[in-house]
């Protein structure tokens, strides 16, 4: 299953390396992967710990809005428009919302699906509303963005050099994927997360507080989504709150991505990259001269592919106690 997603990801990668599309398309696909990939990894931590978080989209929106609003606010203070500080504020904002979600789910035993839906709906209403208060309109002006970093040495390589000129959120993503995998599979904390979602009773018997582990899982999903949302907004330099907001369902794609990746951060990353890659590809296909097919038809390719992959590639193994409340006996 996880292997399947890895293979699909590698296939796309191989398609590119043989020269169908240049390295700029891979960079573009990686930038498009940022919100999806971070949402997917965040979702893994929460769900593995036993709390299904379908509010990822909402947390991304809070991250994006938080980043732009803080950057805008900072620019009028003596501190100045520090992008990294705004980035940090956004992560805190998203984590605070995730904390509220965790309290509702763990302390008050709310239905996780409904509470997750509420997180999304609240963010969907709150962010444009707050934008309206700050800027008198649902969309922010352009406030500044990350500039790309060139990795010394590697970025001078021929052909693939372009891959090593990346925006900071992309670099963070590339670092976060193996780190998340290590955290989940090779550390005690990872074992606890796993046990909390699979068999909380055993974890409790072993003397570990299940509540705390679940809190940690949900809070991590807030941190990841904060990074994803802020990373996306600070790449384009503005927040758009009209319609479905600038997130436009990317959090839900992230949710699908980790299901395709069967809760493995690396496979989830490849699934996210598959979607983003197809998105970048469909943009290219639209521009082929003389290829006269409606952009609406081409635009659904990524979605259809993800659905097909989700339906036919292996079986997703949900943590057995995900979605269940845990009441300690003592």
- Binding marks (x or -) toward other proteins, 222..261, rule CB under 8 A? ----------x--xxxx-xxxxxxx-x-------------
**Residue from 158, 289, 312, 330 binding other proteins (CB under 8 A):** 289
**Contact (Cβ atoms closer than 8 angstroms) between residue 45 and residue 187:** no
Structure tokens at 6: 């890895």
Residue 173 as a binder of other proteins (CB under 8 A): the answer is no
- The window from 26-34, 171-179, 182-190, 191-199 that contacts other proteins (CB under 8 A) reads 26-34
Subset of residues 71 to 110 that bind other proteins, contact rule: CB under 8 A: 104, 108-110
Please report where in the chains the tokens 């009209």 appear, as a residue. 242
Nearer to other proteins, 96 or 183 (CB): 96
**Residue from 128, 217, 251, 261 binding other proteins (CB under 8 A):** 128
- As measured in angstroms, the least distance from the Cβ of 28 to other proteins is 5
- As measured in angstroms, the least distance from the Cβ of 329 to other proteins is 20
How far is CA 91 from each of CA 38, 206, 226, 232, rounded to the nearest angstrom? 12, 33, 4, 13
- As measured in angstroms, the least distance from the Cβ of 94 to other proteins is 17
- The window from 45-53, 82-90, 114-122, 151-159 that contacts other proteins (CB under 8 A) reads 114-122
Nearest-angstrom CA–CA distance, 97 and 109: 17
**Residue from 11, 129, 209, 304 binding other proteins (CB under 8 A):** 129
Bridge partners (DSSP) listed for residue 139: 240
Nearer to other proteins, 108 or 312 (CB): 108
Q: Return the H-helix or E-strand segment holding 72.
A: helix 56-75
Three-state secondary structure readout of 246-267: CCCCHHHHHHHHHHHCCCCHHH
Q: Percent helix, strand, coil in the chain (nearest 5)? A: 70, 0, 30
Please report where in the chains the tokens 């904002």 appear, as a residue. 93
Residue 13 as a binder of other proteins (CB under 8 A): the answer is no
Those residues whose C-beta lies under 8 Å from the C-beta of residue 286, and which sit 6 or more positions away, are 295, 298
The full length of the chain comes to: 330
**Residue from 71, 280, 313, 322 binding other proteins (CB under 8 A):** 280
Nearest-angstrom CA–CA distance, 131 and 141: 10
- As measured in angstroms, the least distance from the Cβ of 139 to other proteins is 4
**Residue from 161, 168, 190, 299 binding other proteins (CB under 8 A):** 299
Nearest-angstrom CA–CA distance, 330 and 327: 9
Cβ-based neighbour number of residue 3 at 10 Å: 12
Binding residues for other proteins, per CB under 8 A? 22, 24-25, 28, 31-32, 104, 108-111, 114-115, 117-118, 121-122, 124-126, 128-129, 131-132, 135-143, 145, 147-148, 232, 235-238, 240-246, 248, 279-280, 283-284, 286-287, 289, 292, 294-296, 299
């Amino acid at each position: 299953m996880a292997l399947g997603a890895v293979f699909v990801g590698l296939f796309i990668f191989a398609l590119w390396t043989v020269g169908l599309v240049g390295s700029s398309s891979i960079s573009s696909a990686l930038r498009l992967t940022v919100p999806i990939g971070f949402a997917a990894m965040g979702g893994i931590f929460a769900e593995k710990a036993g709390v299904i978080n379908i509010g990822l989209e909402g947390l991304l929106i809070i991250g994006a809005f938080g980043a732009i609003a803080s950057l805008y606010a900072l620019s009028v203070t003596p501190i100045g428009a520090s992008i990294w500080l705004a980035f940090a504020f956004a992560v805190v904002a998203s984590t605070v919302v995730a904390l509220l979600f965790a309290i509702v789910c763990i302390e008050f035993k709310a239905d996780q699906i409904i509470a997750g839906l509420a997180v999304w709906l609240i963010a969907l209403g709150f962010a444009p509303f707050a934008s309206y208060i700050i800027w008198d309109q649902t969309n922010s002006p352009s406030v500044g963005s990350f500039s790309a970093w060139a990795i010394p040495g590697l970025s001078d390589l021929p052909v693939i050099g372009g891959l090593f000129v990346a925006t900071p959120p992309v670099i963070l993503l590339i670092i976060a994927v193996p780190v998340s995998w290590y955290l989940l599979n090779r550390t005690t904390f990872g074992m606890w997360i796993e046990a909390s979602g699979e068999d909380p009773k055993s974890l409790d018997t072993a003397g570990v507080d299940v509540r705390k582990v679940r809190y940690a899982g949900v809070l991590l999903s807030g941190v990841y989504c904060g990074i994803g949302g802020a990373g996306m907004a600070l790449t384009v330099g503005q927040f758009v709150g009209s319609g479905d907001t600038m997130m436009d369902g990317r959090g839900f794609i992230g949710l699908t991505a980790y299901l395709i990746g069967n809760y493995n951060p690396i496979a989830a990353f490849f699934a996210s990259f598959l979607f983003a890659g197809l998105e970048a590809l469909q943009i290219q296909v639209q521009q082929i001269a003389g290829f006269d097919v409606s952009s609406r038809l081409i635009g659904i390719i990524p979605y259809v592919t993800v659905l097909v992959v989700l339906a036919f590639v292996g079986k997703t193994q949900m943590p057995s106690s995900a979605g269940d409340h845990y009441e300690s006996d003592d």
